[in-house]
Chains A and B, each alone.
Chain A
Amino acid sequence: MALTLKQQLSSPGGILKFLVKYNTIFIFLLLVIFSALISDVFFTSVNLSNLLKQVSGIGIISIGMLIVILTGGIDLSVGSMVALLAVTFAILVNIFALPLAILFTIVLGFGLGSVSGYLVAYQKMAPFVATLALMTIARGMSFIYSKGSPVTFTTVGGQYMSNFANNSTLGIPNIAIVFFIIVIMAMVMLRYNVFGRLIIAIGSNEEASRLSGIKVNKYKFLVYAISGALAATAAIIVASRTNLGSPNMGMAWELDAIAAVVIGGASLNGGKGTAINTLMGVLILGLIGNILNLLNVPSYPQQVVKGAIIIFAVLLQRFESK
């Protein structure tokens, strides 16, 4: 028997509480309105579809980051994984049929994530340390396999992927559709699936989870593996957009992903966070970049603004927990 919207709004201070509760969505809407007012290019389909294309890759790894953070962990390796897996995909797509190349890349992502998962869940290594190591290893390997330069798609399969990644369906960029499908899957899994429920339980109290007979290690292992598989998906998308896999891809993306999850109200201690809010976090970060670009603000001040927004968003969430 949740309170109805009307009840929420009419209780004392209701409107304020409502705003605070759904703060990420309001920040997002405010930014949209602000952007529309400040630039007449913003609401053009070209700009919006560019925006969506830009955020899709980071968006997908943010969902992986979210499920890791929900267990109270963190995955620093995803940015480097995107580079390694983009290079891998470019190599594979030039050798194998496209479906196989996609499958192998995702399996490899799952496998690499499993390494972090194994170290964290079964070797009790701190997530920060384990994934930091994987981050360095993956980046190094991406340079080794690509010999330091980008690997271009040369086959029909690569061409097909490139077309897919740069085209739209019903006005929505295909890669954004992939991102949205992943967001919806995550929403459903976190709300209605045992897997989601258990990782949230583990993040909110690991010992109580263990004593409830939950296979804590298995689920901690799985979230890193899934994060790896999502990094592979992101890698395929970003490589396909540019028709090549480069060892310089995904630079510092793990930090943007963490920022998106945090702006989305998740707690780094675990147990708190939703897919829809992470989506908002991703869009907010993307919007800031987009509008500052439209205003011709150079990239360094952009970073300052991004940082300020993170602080603002988290401060706002303080109200919520009170």
Chain B
Amino acid sequence: MGYFLDLFLSGLTRGSIYALIALGYTMVYGIIQLINFAHGEIYMIGAFTALIVAGVLTIYGWNQMAIIFIASIVALLYSMGYGYTIEKIAYKPLRHAPRLSALISAIGMSLFLQNYVLLAQTSDFMLFPSLIPDFKFLTSFSHIARPSEFVIIISTAIVMVLLTFFIKFTKTGKAMRATAQDRQMAMLVGIDVNRVISITFIIGSATAALGGVLIASHIGQINFYMGFIAGIKAFVAAVLGGIGSMPGAVLGSLVLGWTESFFTGYVSSDYEDVFAFIFLVLILIFRPSGILGRSDTQKV
């Protein structure tokens, strides 16, 4: 039973990270029907920014709580800036172009950012300090899971709740839902759609960067390639849950996290990805629009 619980929690941790990234995919898709392939790089850039800021602050001898706080904030803000800029440079000019053009632009942006970090930083794995402190109140649970796992799960849960609240009850959240349902009509009731799209990219980037900082601190190493694999997995999770649906993205991520974790634990860690993707194919055969996805409504 203890082993099962271990796997359950490590799956939940993975799933939480996937969910933080998948939310960005699904929100952007919901609003402009674009798969933002550069999204995984935002996650990577978030981790790198945190590493640099933490490094600098450590030299100045700040205490650990201040470092994790400031490093996360800076990483979030910096990534938000990236998300905003990427949309303006790579997607906005192609708003009325065929969808494939924007997709290619997204892939190009992804490659560009990877190689840019590769050149600016290094191709080696870099050690990432375990920023998340060993909270005292969590040590009594330490036989179940590491404190950083708890921190990841809890902070993801908080982000989900905040985001749900934001989308459901705020004016901007309403504008986002309206834009997702009918962009032209949203403009005609006075919504500045460009602003809504920018906000969507900014929020998505912030959650992805948070995921990047958390996972880097949990695993302890990062490199320029980390965003690619995580991005693909999160994309898969978003499709699994039903792309465009936010609860779907979270559910899909958790399902993917648990699948990987249990398979690794009970069968073999060598074929972890193989099994995850077989599972994806099976779900999509039986539910082509994802677990919570709706089939597209016909527009007249």
User: Do A and B come from the same complex?
Assistant: no
- Enumerate chain B interface residues (CB-CB to A < 8 A): none
